Structure 1
Amino acid sequence: MRKILVVGAGQSGLQLALGLQSKGYEVTLMSNRTADEIRSGRVMSTQCMFHTALQHERDLGLNFWESQAPRIEGLGVSVAGPTGEQPGTTPRVIDWVGKLDGYAQSVDQRVKMAGWMETFAQRGGQLVIHGAAVSDLDYFSRTYDLVLVSAGKGELVSMFGRDASRSPYAEPQRALAVSYVHGLGPRPEHPEFDAVRCNLVPGVGELFIMPTVTLSGRADILFWEGIPGGPLDAFKGIKDPAEHLALTLELMEKFVPWEYARATKVELTDAGGTLAGRYAPTVRNPIGRLPSGGLVLGVADVVVANDPITGQGSNSASKCAASYLDSIVERGDEPFDESWMQTTFDRYWETAQHVTKWTNAMLGAPPEHVLNLIGAAGDLQPIADRFANGFNDPSDFENFFYDPTLTGAYIAEVGESQGPAGERVP
């Protein structure tokens, strides 16, 4: 039986550990926190997983919270006009919602990671609670057939050098601020179904709102992404959760009053329901070399870390874990050598490259043809639906998003197929 060490107990590390365990590998999982510490700690992320990523969980029988989490059936975009003089007067110049072909869901990672970790141990996996250092991996690499590093922060990441050719940004492009809340009202435009709402404030940043399930049941995530140095870059140094939420709501009232209108009665889900920070989106070389010469393979955001502006983090982690699992199983008894490690990453990169390209594009000022596309989606429902489903399959953006000629042709094609009132022409 081949022995594999997985370092890091996030979406990718746990999904991979549980997947390998189900395939008969002898798996050790190393985490710097216990399940109880994760469950009682601070929120770790925003997350909204779309159909393909959710299916990877279903395939492994790990969709434990599917019946509890809200079914997210749409993805909406609103664009703010010039900020009004008085609070609550900023207009919307664009507002639409696209329907997803398969529903999305969000589960607070404190719930999921704690539950998955306990499942791994119950199924006979060896769980080691220890914050691993490079020296630890140097020792373990001699006793395991393969060491996978899925801990995306700290000393271990330094083993994986930055790939400058795939990392256009050296500095963070957004300041991030998250609040998990109860008491948010529905969007009046579609009270009958849940949707992720993407609110774009040109030159300022973005507010994302997504339904989720947390420790205390149904909730919603309020997530500001602020351009550094701008008015949304205001959360640094705020430690008090109540102050964090108050500032979140104050900024909503000023920049996205249509969302503030349904947030006047919200309260934090718990004392750990806020998070703030920033990081530079980075692609790294996938193979880490230990002082002894041993090799380790980086997983998910250790090697491909994108800004959360496109909501791809947990999706990419799930897709990476699924891809790596296939590569490991297909390897059979052959050695997990450097060549195999590079090939395994390259296989994942075939998917990940589309996420990185799209995310980096969304971090910049949108060009005219993209603005035209987003505007057209308000009049042409097929465009809104296709844009929404791009969150599940970002490779489709190659066909209609980046190239002005392709974008223009696509808008014209859809326009010709629709009647004056947006109804399809027979």
Structure 2
Amino acid sequence: MRKILVVGAGQSGLQLALGLQSHGYEVTLMSNRTADEIRSGRVMSTQCMFDTALQHERDLQLNFWESQAPRIEGLGVSVAAPGSFDPGPSQRAIDWVGRLDGYAQSVDQRVKMAGWMETFAQRGGQLVIHGAAVGDLDYFSRTYDLVLVSAGKGELVSMFERDASRSPYSEPQRALAVSYVHGLGPRPEHPDFDAVRCNLVPGVGELFVMPTLTTSGRADILFWEGIPGGPLDVFNGVKDPAEHLALTLRLMETFTPWEFDRAKGVELTDAGGTLAGRYAPTVRNPVGRLPGGGLVLGVADVVVANDPITGQGSNSASKCAAAYLASILEHGDGAFDETWMRATFDRYWNTAQHVTKWTNAMLAPPPEHILNLIGAAGQLQPVADRFANAFDDPADFENFFYEPEKTGAYLASVAGA
């Protein structure tokens, strides 16, 4: 029986540990917090997962909350009209919603990670509550056949060198601020189904609104992404959750009044329902070398950390866990050497590269052909639907998004159909 250590108990680490466990591997999972500490702690993410990523959970029978979580059946895009922050429809230059082929869902990671961790222990997995340092891994690398690092913050990440050729940004491109709330009203124009709402405020930032399942049942997430130094970059140092929510709502009233209209009665789900921070989007070398010469393989956002503007973090984590699981199973009794590690990462990068390219493009001011594409989706429902479904399969953006010629040809073919 092969012994594998997974360090970090997030979406990817837990999914991978549970997947390996189900195939008879002797798995040890290290987490710096207990399940109860995670469940009663602060929110960690916005985690809207689309159909492909959800299917990876279904394949492992880990979709414990699927019947309880809201079914997100659409993805809407609104663009604030330049200089128009008056009440009424004129506030939005663009407003449409695309229908998803398969529904998306968001389950608060406090609920999911705590539940999965307890499941791992109940199934006989070795759960170690300990914050791992590089020195610990040096020792463990001699004890385990494979060490996987999926703890995306702190000292361990420094073992994985930044890949400058795949990381165009060296500084954070957005200041992030999240609030989980109860009491959000429906969008009056589409009250019959749940949708993620992407509100773009040119030159200022973005507001995302999405339904979720949290520790207290159904809720909604209000998520601001502000251009650093701009009017949304005001959450640094705000420690009081009530102040964080009040600031969120004031910014909604100013920049997205159509969303503020349905948020007037909201309240935080709990004292841990806010989150703020920023980080530079970074791709890293997947193989970490320990002082004693041992090697460890980086997982998910340890090696590919994209800005959350495209909502891909949990999706990418799930896809990474699925790719790594398949590589480990296929490898049988072979040595988990550097060649295998790099090939395993490359398998994941085949899908992750599309996420990174798209996310980095969305962080930059949009070129004219992208504005035309987003505008056309308001008149052509197939364009709106395709854009929405590319959140599930970002590789499709290669076909109609990046190059003006491809965008023009695609729009002409839809308009002429």
TM-score tier (shorter): over 0.9
Q: Does 1:263 align with 2:236?
A: no
Quote the residue 1:171 is aligned against. 171
> Which residue identity is paired with 1:59?
D
1:371-410 mapped onto 2 (5 Å cutoff): 371-410=371-410
Give me the whole-angstrom Cα distance separating, in 2, the residues matched to 1:57 and 1:25. Answer: 18
1:244-255 mapped onto 2 (5 Å cutoff): 244-255=244-255
Residue aligned with 2:366, SS:
coil
Quote the residue 1:367 is aligned against. 367
Residue aligned with 1:195, SS:
strand
The Cα shift of 1:84 comes to 4.0
TM-score of the pair, normalised by structure 1: 0.97
1:158-307 mapped onto 2 (5 Å cutoff): 158-307=158-307
The Cα shift of 1:89 comes to 8.8
Kindly provide the CA deviation profile for residues 143-166 of structure 1, in whole angstroms up to 9, marking residues without a partner as x: 000000000000000000000000
Quote the residue 1:30 is aligned against. 30
Q: How many percent identity over aligned positions?
A: 86
The answer to whether the 8 Å contact 2:85/2:254 transfers is no
The Cα shift of 1:352 comes to 0.2
The answer to whether the 8 Å contact 1:101/1:389 transfers is yes
Give me the whole-angstrom Cα distance separating, in 2, the residues matched to 1:262 and 1:40. Answer: 28
Residue aligned with 1:224, SS:
strand
> Which residue identity is paired with 1:287?
V
Quote the residue 1:15 is aligned against. 15
Q: Which runs of 5+ in 1 are unaligned?
A: 418-426
CA RMSD of aligned residues (A): 0.9
The answer to whether the 8 Å contact 2:85/2:255 transfers is no
Give me the whole-angstrom Cα distance separating, in 1, the residues matched to 2:233 and 2:292. Answer: 43
Runs of 4+ in structure 1 deviating by more than 3 angstroms, as ranges, are 83-90
Give me the whole-angstrom Cα distance separating, in 2, the residues matched to 1:389 and 1:233. Answer: 30
Give me the whole-angstrom Cα distance separating, in 2, the residues matched to 1:161 and 1:369. Answer: 35
The answer to whether the 8 Å contact 2:85/2:91 transfers is no
The answer to whether the 8 Å contact 1:11/1:314 transfers is yes
The answer to whether the 8 Å contact 1:41/1:110 transfers is yes
Q: Does 1:75 align with 2:75?
A: yes
The Cα shift of 1:90 comes to 7.0
Give me the whole-angstrom Cα distance separating, in 1, the residues matched to 2:100 and 2:270. Answer: 30
Residue aligned with 2:388, SS:
helix
Q: Does 1:318 align with 2:326?
A: no
The answer to whether the 8 Å contact 2:14/2:113 transfers is yes
> Against the structure 1 CA distance between its residues 176 and 136, is the aligned structure 2 distance closer, same or farther, given a 3 Å change threshold?
same
Give me the whole-angstrom Cα distance separating, in 2, the residues matched to 1:89 and 1:200. Answer: 15
Give me the whole-angstrom Cα distance separating, in 1, the residues matched to 2:263 and 2:182. Answer: 9
Give me the whole-angstrom Cα distance separating, in 2, the residues matched to 1:47 and 1:318. Answer: 11
Q: Does 1:124 align with 2:120?
A: no
The answer to whether the 8 Å contact 2:11/2:318 transfers is yes
> Which residue identity is paired with 2:153?
K
Kindly provide the CA deviation profile for residues 186-234 of structure 1, in whole angstroms up to 9, marking residues without a partner as x: 1111100000000000000000001000000000000000000000001
The answer to whether the 8 Å contact 1:83/1:89 transfers is no
Residue aligned with 1:24, SS:
coil
Give me the whole-angstrom Cα distance separating, in 2, the residues matched to 1:336 and 1:308. Answer: 32
Kindly provide the CA deviation profile for residues 44-79 of structure 1, in whole angstroms up to 9, marking residues without a partner as x: 011100000000000000000000000000000000
The answer to whether the 8 Å contact 2:105/2:212 transfers is yes
The answer to whether the 8 Å contact 2:2/2:25 transfers is yes
Quote the residue 1:422 is aligned against. none
The Cα shift of 1:15 comes to 0.1
> Against the structure 1 CA distance between its residues 399 and 166, is the aligned structure 2 distance closer, same or farther, given a 3 Å change threshold?
same
The Cα shift of 1:88 comes to 7.7
> Which residue identity is paired with 1:213?
L
Q: Which runs of 5+ in 2 are unaligned?
A: none
The Cα shift of 1:86 comes to 5.8
Residue aligned with 1:43, SS:
coil
Give me the whole-angstrom Cα distance separating, in 1, the residues matched to 2:108 and 2:86. Answer: 36
The answer to whether the 8 Å contact 1:182/1:266 transfers is yes
> Which residue identity is paired with 1:78?
S
Residue aligned with 2:398, SS:
helix
Residue aligned with 1:233, SS:
coil
Residue aligned with 2:48, SS:
coil
TM-score of the pair, normalised by structure 2: 0.99
Residue aligned with 1:127, SS:
strand
> Which residue identity is paired with 2:198?
C
Q: Does 1:113 align with 2:113?
A: yes
Residue aligned with 1:340, SS:
helix
